[in-house]
Structure 1
Amino acid sequence: MDSEEFEEIPWSHLIPDTTPSGNRTVMIAGGIVIALVVGVFGARMLGGAEQQTVLEPVSSSSPTVNVDSPVELAVTVPPTTAAANVLYTEADLMASLSPSAAPSVSATYFATRFVRDFFTVDGDVAARARLAALFVDGDQLPLPHGQDMPTTYVEWTGVVRSVTTPAGLDVVVAFQMLEESDGSGEDFVRSDVLEATVSLVAVGDGYAVASLPSVSVSTTPQPLASWVGSATAPQWVIDSAMREIGRFASDADVIAAELVDGGDWRVVLLATRSGVSWPIQLRVLVTP
């Protein structure tokens, strides 16, 4: 006996199609238009996202640069700090190459340091040798430093003037001392404002003291290599030197004299002030 086979047919195929063919065409066309609109909108959205990503790193404080304008690009170049028309000398260039090189000590600084050390007697045993080394010939100078003498200090110094000489430079230094007092109730007393003329000569890259300092305000000593004099001065020269040294010292002794060019006399005295004796030179003019 043969088996029977049954075929299932959907109901939609059995119901007749009543949709007009024209409406179906319109629906298909509408779907295509909608797809195109969605595609264009999506492309614009993607393009806008890419442009926004490029602009995000730009800081709000950065200057706005118009890439289409070369003038705007030139404005953004930072200005240089060095002027284009500045001319540098060789010394300026060498100073920039070796900034650690210290310049030589100036003559005025050397003179003020010398006056401070010369008129300061505080018991420093090394001060005598240190001070003698500043002279051209100071090994035999009767300096009071390092000896048992009253104490004196130089409170301040100041350069009054400097005069160029054939041998070097004369620097006039004003100073004031604090001197140990013998009176009761006071340890030190302040001196009058004094002036010392220091004669300097150039030695190597520095200076040296050519002769003993002079406390005379009215004369300028001639720089000499040695403090020792061999001549015997007339009495009027000795008297004039003693009167002049009285402005500084309470007592003095003439220890050397020398006749210099022009007929003037250089007199070296051991001048005592506040119990301390300093070798001081004076120039006595032949025609006062």
Structure 2
Amino acid sequence: MSTNDTQHTGPSEERLSDTRRLHRFDVGAEPRLVAQLGLADVEIDATGPGGHVVVDLETFGSKARDLLERTSVEQDGSTVRIDMPRVSTFFGLSPRMRVRVQVPAGTAVDLGAGSGDVSVRGELGGAHVETGSGGIDLESVHEAEIKAGSGDVRVGRAHGLRIRTGSGGIRIGEVVGDVAATAGSGDMTVGTVRASTSLTCGSGNIDVEDVSGDAQVKTGSGRVRVARATQGQLSVATGSGTIRVGVAEGTAAHLDVSTVSGRVRSELESVPGAGENDRTLMLRARAVSGNIDLVRAV
């Protein structure tokens, strides 16, 4: 998709081929993209200049031309809406679409797709993304709610985040605000979280690099590792698997730890009480079958 055209005078449509169409729109200060799609892969570039949205639609497979003709792209104020019709699935011959959109940084996105991958480069103001199957990859977003039936989800940076997947891994880089992530099956990998955090897996490992607010981390079956916990209330639990928590230097930890069949090993020194300048961590850890290790974070 060409990004060179920045001087627009109004909505325009350009037919590049029987199966590819380009739309350009001028939008105001609070742009919004709404898309309801079926079988489609979506690429959003949120690094574009302010004031313009470019939509590039390309269809493939059986009846690709018909699918393009029946897909509408409309504008209402600063909102651009893409509506793809439902198509019947017949032995994998159904047409599918590639949707490439250039939007200004900070655009809000509301997107639903039956099947296909969604990727976003740049920063969104807010996002609601829901897919039946397919991966979701957001580089940066202010607030996001993500639901995936099956497929991996990755979010690089966010101020607030809610994720729910049926099956598939979840990878989160850094979140400044609250986080709630739930996976039926699949591993979770989380970088830095600074506020209220809830991470839950039916089955899968959970790895957290750095947590400094209240957090609940729980998996039915799998390993739980918190590399560095600084302060707040941390609750960690697994039905079947090991637990390892690293407590930051300068943090006094109050421990409530037990395992039914396993051992508890602590490298933390026992002291009478927290010093005036010490941060405090209230740590509760429970394992049914597995060992629990408590160490000083490196």
Structure 1-normalised TM-score? 0.24
Which structure carries more strand by proportion?
2
Which structure carries more helix by proportion?
1
Structure 2-normalised TM-score? 0.23
